[in-house]
Amino acid sequence: MDSYSLGDEYNYDGELGAIYSKEKTIFKVWSPKAEKVVLNFYSEGTGSNLIEKKLMQFGDNGVWSFTKKGNLAGIFYTYEVTIDGKTNETQDIYSKAVGINGLRGMVVNLLDTNPDGWDKDKRPYIKNQTDAIIYELHFRDISMDENSGIKVKGKFISLTENASKNLYGEATGLDHIKELGVNAVHILPSFDFGSVDESKINSNQYNWGYDPKNYLVPEGSYSTNAYSGTVRIKEMKQMIKAFHNENIAVIMDCVFSHTYEYEHSSFNNIVPNYYYRQDKYGKVIANSQCKNDTASERFMFRKYMIDAVTYWAKEYHVDGFRFDLMGLHDIDTMNEIRRALDKISPGILIYGEGWNLGNEVTISDDEKATKTNARKLNNRIAFFNDDMRDGVRGSVSNEKAGGFINYNSKWLKGDGKTPYSIAELKEQVKFSIVAAVEHDGVDYSKIPCKSKPWASEPTQTVNYVSCHDNNTLWDKINLTKPDIGKHEKIKMDEMAAFIVLTSQGIPFIQSGQEMLGTKPKLNGGGFASNSFNSSDLVNRIDWWRKHNYKSVVEYYKGLIKLRKEHPAFRMFTKAEIQKNIKFFDTKDSVIGYFILNNANGDKWREIAVIINASNQDEEINLKKSEWAVVVKEEKAGIEMLDMVHEDRVLVNEKTSMVLVNLKK
C-alpha cells in the first residue's frame, strides 16, 4: 500500500451521490479524512441563491450521508468539506446533473430526461468486435461548416437532423454517416469538461474535451441550454437514439487518466491526494502531460471508473468506450471494467491508447494496461495499432517522414542517419494486416519498431492511419510528398484506406478522411497537427470536399461495403488468421496475400489481395486462373469490375486490387 492509500476499512462499494426518489433524496459522499461535511442547497446552478445548509452524518467506511424528504428534482447542491481545519465548497464527483459550468450538482429525476421511445431503444448488434467499423467524430467538426446544411450547429442534436445536405444536394451529418456504411461512431469526449466556458457559448470556443470536470454529466456547450440540468442529458440521449435508429453504435471517448485540474478539483477537495498518484516527495505525477495522473489502482478510483462506465452504458445506452492514455491505468482495473460491462452487454466495445508514457508511475511496467501487456488483458480490450499508422504513412515523430504508401527515406533509424527501407516498412504493414497476432508470413526481424506479436486475438487490434491526433492522412501525404500531383496523392490516400479496411482487426476512420480532410493553419501556411483548441475553420469538415472528391468518398464506401458483406476480412480468432491468410512472394514495394478456405464462413472460397506501392505497374502471379476483380484502381465494392482468365494479373502503380477466384 502506497503512502497515499487508505486502509481497506475505508473501502466502500455502495452507491454514492444524490440517490433520488419522488419521496426523498439520499445524499452520500465518501470523505474519510473529513472532520465535517455540510450539504448546501441552491435554487439555481449559479449565483447567490442558497436555500439552506444541512450537516451530514459520518458513517461506516468513511461515508457521510443526509436524507431530505420530498421531491427535490431540480434543486442544486454542493458539499462543504472540512479537512485539517480547512473548508472547501465543492461539487459532488457523483453528480448526474449539473448547472452552468458544472459548479453545482443538481438532483434529477432521470425519467424526465428520456426522449420519446427511449424505453424501446435497442443497441445495434455487433456480434464480434472485429465486425465494428468505427468513424471518429467531434460535434462541432461535423456540423459547423456553413455548407453543412445542419440547422443547429455544434450540438448533440446536430446529429439528429435528417435530410441535411450541402449546396450540391449531397447528404451531410447523420445521413452522410449512414450513407458511408459504418456501423459505429466514436464521439470525442462528451462528458462535462473544463476548457469551455458554458456561459459564453456564442463565443465559438473550441476544444476536443480531454479535460474532464464532471464524469457522469454531458458537456453543456453541446446542449442548447447549458443552464438547464436536464436539457443536456435529454439531448445527448436524443443523439444516441438517432444513431441507434440507423443501427449505428455509439462509442464514448472517456478520459480517466487525468482531470481538468488537480489542486482544486472536486476529487481533491473531497479526499486530498487520494485519487492522484504522487512521487516519493509528495508531488503529483504528470506522465499524462495534463498536469496530473489519476490512481486507477486505488480501490475508490477503480470503483469510480467502473461506476462511471456502467452508468453511461445503462442510463445513456452507450455501446462502447475508448480510453484515453489507457497505458496509465492498471491491468486489473481494465479487466474489471470489462467484466462489469459484460454483465450489461458482452457486445460493448472497449479500446484505448496503449502507450507506455514513462517510468514515473506508482505501478510497474508489468502492471500497466499497455499494448505490450495486451495478452494480460481480456482479449476484448483492444489497442490502437500505431504500427499500422506509422508503417503505412510514416512516423508521427517526424511529420515529413513517409511510410509504405508514400516512401521518401526520411524515417531514420536510431543512429539518425540510416533510413528505413521500403522492405522494412512492408513487413510492418504485413504485421498489421494480420492484426498484430503471430503469423509465420511476417519477418519480425525487419520491422522498424521491432514490434513482436502483441495481440492475443485480432479483437485486440484497432487499425487506423488517421485520427484527431497528429496530421490528417491527407495532410501527412502532402507533407511527405509535396512535389507530386494531386492525382498521385489521392492514390496514396486510397491505398491507405484500402489497407485499413481490408486488414484483420477493427478498422477506424477519422471523420472527413473519406473526403481528403485537411486542417490548414490559418496563418503562415502548413497544417495543424495538434488542433485541440484551434478554431472551427481549422477543425471543421468542409462539406464542399464531399462533392469535389466524390470518387474518393465512393471508394471508401465501396471498401466499407466489401468489409461488411464479407466476413473473410474480419476474422475474430488468431487461429483463423494463421490458417487462412497466406502471403506470397512479391517485390519490396508490393504486398500480396490469399485469404483461403471460405474464411470465417465467407461465401468467397479464395480471395487475393494485392497492394502495389511502387511507381510502376507490376505483374502478379496468382497461381490459378479465373479471377473476378471487385476492387481495382478507384473502384471498390462487391460487384465484378473485370475478369482475369489467366493466372497472372497486372496491378497498376500505386493501386490495390481484390480478386475472387471463381473456380470450383
pLDDT, tens digit, 9 for 90 and up, residues 441-456:
999 999 987 778 999 9
Task: Write out the DSSP string of 45-109.
Answer: SSSS-EEEEEE-EE-GGGEEEEEEES--TT-EEEEEEEETTEEEEE--TT-SSB-GGG-SEE---
In this prediction, residue 409 carries a pLDDT of 95
Let me know whether 323 and 225 are in one domain. yes
Q: At which of 43, 74, 108 does a domain end?
A: 108
Q: Taking 90 as the threshold, does the pLDDT of residue 288 lie above it?
A: no
Reply yes or no on whether 353 is catalytic. yes
pLDDT band at 287 (very low <50, low <70, confident <90, very high): confident
Let me know whether 280 and 360 are in one domain. yes
Let me know whether 517 and 617 are in one domain. no
pLDDT band at 202 (very low <50, low <70, confident <90, very high): confident
Query: How much is the mean pLDDT over the chain?
Result: 96
Distance CA 180, CA 2 (A): 50
Quote the pTM value: 0.98
Whether residue 99 is contained in a domain is answered as yes
The residue type at 131: D
Whether residue 192 is contained in a domain is answered as yes
- Total number of domains constituting the chain: 3
Q: Taking 80 as the threshold, does the pLDDT of residue 410 lie above it?
A: yes
Quick check: 448 and 391 in contact, CB under 8 A?
Answer: yes
Overall average pLDDT of the 347-362 stretch: 88
Whether residue 22 is contained in a domain is answered as yes
Whether residue 199 is contained in a domain is answered as yes
Distance CA 422, CA 414 (A): 17
Distance of CA 219 to the CA centre of its chain: 17
DSSP state of 446: G
3-class SS at 645? coil
Let me know whether 262 and 357 are in one domain. yes
Catalytic, out of 92, 324, 427, 493? 324
We report the CATH number of the domain holding residue 270 as: 3.20.20.80
pLDDT band at 2 (very low <50, low <70, confident <90, very high): low
Reply yes or no on whether 60 is catalytic. no
In this prediction, residue 214 carries a pLDDT of 98
Whether residue 644 is contained in a domain is answered as yes
pLDDT band at 38 (very low <50, low <70, confident <90, very high): very high
Question: What domain range includes position 42?
Answer: 8-108
Whether residue 104 is contained in a domain is answered as yes
In this prediction, residue 290 carries a pLDDT of 80
Let me know whether 86 and 214 are in one domain. no
Start-end of H helices in 394-528: 422-433, 473-480, 486-502
All residues at 6 or more sequence positions from 120 whose CB lies less than 8 Å from its CB, including other chains: none
Overall average pLDDT of the 435-440 stretch: 97
We report the CATH number of the domain holding residue 23 as: 2.60.40.10
Distance CA 265, CA 213 (A): 8
Let me know whether 553 and 585 are in one domain. no
Overall average pLDDT of the 595-600 stretch: 98
Let me know whether 240 and 188 are in one domain. yes
Q: At which of 514, 549, 569 does a domain end?
A: 569
pLDDT band at 1 (very low <50, low <70, confident <90, very high): very low
Catalytic, out of 353, 386, 602, 618? 353
pLDDT band at 201 (very low <50, low <70, confident <90, very high): confident
In this prediction, residue 3 carries a pLDDT of 53
CA dihedral angle for residue 191, residue 194, residue 200, residue 205, rounded to 10 degrees: -90
Let me know whether 174 and 307 are in one domain. yes
Let me know whether 475 and 617 are in one domain. no
We report the CATH number of the domain holding residue 604 as: 2.60.40.1180
In this prediction, residue 360 carries a pLDDT of 67
Percent of the chain past pLDDT 70, that is, above it, reads 99
3-class SS at 349? strand
Let me know whether 161 and 251 are in one domain. yes
Q: At which of 569, 591, 613 does a domain end?
A: 569
Q: Taking 80 as the threshold, does the pLDDT of residue 358 lie above it?
A: no
> Nearest Cα to 454, choosing from 381, 357, 402, 363?
381
Whether residue 419 is contained in a domain is answered as no
Q: Taking 70 as the threshold, does the pLDDT of residue 523 lie above it?
A: yes
Let me know whether 74 and 165 are in one domain. no
Q: Tens of pLDDT along 177-195? A: 999 999 999 999 999 999 9
Percent of the chain past pLDDT 90, that is, above it, reads 93
Let me know whether 515 and 611 are in one domain. no
Q: List % helix, strand, coil for the chain (3-state, nearest 5).
A: 30, 20, 50
Quick check: 567 and 130 in contact, CB under 8 A?
Answer: no
Whether residue 405 is contained in a domain is answered as no
Quick check: 612 and 651 in contact, CB under 8 A?
Answer: yes
